[in-house]
Amino acid sequence: MQAARCVAIKDQLTCPAPLTRNATVLVRPLLLGLALAAIAGATQAQPYPAKPLRLVVAFPAGGTADVVARTLAQPLGAALGQNVIVENRAGGGTVIATELVARAAADGHTLLLTGFSFSANSALRSNLPFDTQKDFAAVARIESSPWMLAAHPSLPVKNVKELIALARTRPGQLTYAANPAGSGAHLIGAMLKLTTAINMVDVAYQGEVPAMIAVIGGHADLLIAYVPALAPQLAAGKLRALGVSSRQRVERYKDVATLAEAGMPGFELTGNQGITVPAATPKAVIERLGMEILRAVGTPLFKETLARQGLTPAPLNSAEYDALLRAEFTKMQKMFRDTAVKLD
């Protein structure tokens, strides 16, 4: 034990109690705690974003989701002052990409481009390695687009009514390419068969592009995919449009009837693409991301770029997009139950 030093204060000699070993031991953790708190405070105060962002897409490059992601990446990155890197993680019915983001650090640097399968998987699968309702936070919706039913030009039909009539004469012979199992394309095909009592065979592909290649190459008769993905092939005469899944006809294809008009009364299904992040992401980060995304979606350049792809911007803020996702989940539960579609 170290001897205490005595000091003279107002002509009196004062000798403070010596610092014991036990007291020294108690002081050290206190100092360490203060140092850690200071470091934590400095970390929390670090401006967002602190590094490039990853925008994870659950489909291969070249499809509609990829187009939306890359159209958003440049203006979003410019607004945030960091690069936004698009990362395609196709496979597993979109589960691979979704799980990657669910397990990522909740710091706003890893984003998921969320589409139809986000709600569908939650309603359809009981063994997901994440909880869609609890593990994600909605940031903003970007666009909403319908699917289109198209055929190889060699198929002797010009619309859905003619397809239904042909399918009834060829039960189990017509095939349609859907991507992947449990997707919107898959569900539309199942609903078409259910409501019109026709028998067609669905063949699953991992993305719109592989499915399109299959039909153009004559390996399948029909294709169900987002309108923008089909536009170039329709213009080139490699595919023929038969019907769209939206409530109203698509402006660019006014002569193509809706599925509701063509034999599926009341039917409507559209895909909504937006951004979600891990649920524990700070609210301030979500608000900043949402603000910049909606600002980008509202610019003339963004609208023009999407329009060239046949996409329609449909911005929603975080609360609105969250409500939509929850409503979609309920709708998907009913539709999958009605069509008896199961994956596990």
The pLDDT tens digits of the residues spanning 90-133 come to 988 789 999 999 999 999 999 999 998 898 888 888 889 999 99
Tokens of 308: 């060239």
Which pLDDT band holds residue 13 (cuts at 50, 70, 90)?
very low
Between residues 67 and 165, which one has the greater pLDDT? 165
Residue 21: the pLDDT is 52
What percent of the chain shows pLDDT beyond 70?
85
| Residue 310 pLDDT greater than 80, yes or no | no
Domain ranges of the chain: 7-40, 53-145+272-339, 146-253
Spatial distance between the Cα atoms of 123 and 342, rounded to a whole number of angstroms: 10
184-196 helix and 318-339 helix, angle to the nearest 10 degrees: 40
Residue 36 has pLDDT above 70, yes or no: no
Q: What is the pLDDT of residues 130-171, one digit of tens each?
A: 999 999 999 999 999 899 999 999 999 999 999 999 999 999
Which homologous superfamily is 53-145+272-339 in? Bordetella uptake gene, domain 1 (3.40.190.150)
- DSSP for residue 206: S
Strands 7-9 and 12-14: antiparallel
For residue 221, the model assigns a pLDDT of: 96
Q: Residue 326: pLDDT above 70?
A: yes
8 Å CB contact between 212 and 233: yes
Please report which residue ranges of the chain form alpha helices under DSSP H: 21-44, 64-80, 95-102, 116-124, 160-169, 184-196, 208-216, 227-235, 283-297, 300-308, 318-339
Q: Residues of 188-204 as b/e, b for ≥16 C-beta within 10 angstroms?
A: bbbbbbebbebebebbb
pLDDT bracket for residue 73 (50, 70, 90): very high
DSSP states of 108-140 as a string? SSEEEEE-HHHHHHHHH-S--SS-TTTSEEEEE
The candidate with the shortest Cα–Cα distance to 94, out of 111, 72, 116, 73, is: 116
What band does 22 get if pLDDT is binned at 50, 70 and 90?
A: low
Examine the pLDDT at 246 and tell me if it is beyond 80.
yes
pLDDT above 60 for 37: no
Chain position carrying tokens 């004062």: 14
> Domain 146-253, what fold?
D-Maltodextrin-Binding Protein; domain 2 (3.40.190)
Whether pLDDT at 10 is above 70: no
pTM given for the model: 0.74
Q: Which of 53, 105, 106, 117 is nearest to 83 (CA)?
A: 53
Domain 53-145+272-339 and domain 146-253, same fold? Reply is: yes
Q: What six digits make up the tokens of 90?
A: 């196709």
**Which band of pLDDT confidence, cut at 50, 70 and 90, is reported for residue 45?**
low
Facing residues of 276 across strands?
112, 138
Give residue 153's pLDDT.
Answer: 95
Q: What is the pLDDT of residue 42?
A: 45
Question: What is the rounded average pLDDT of the residues 298-310?
Answer: 84
Identify whether the C-beta of residue 130 lies closer than 8 Å to the C-beta of residue 100.
no
In the DSSP assignment, the letter for residue 52 is -
Residues 6+ apart with CB under 8 A from 9: none
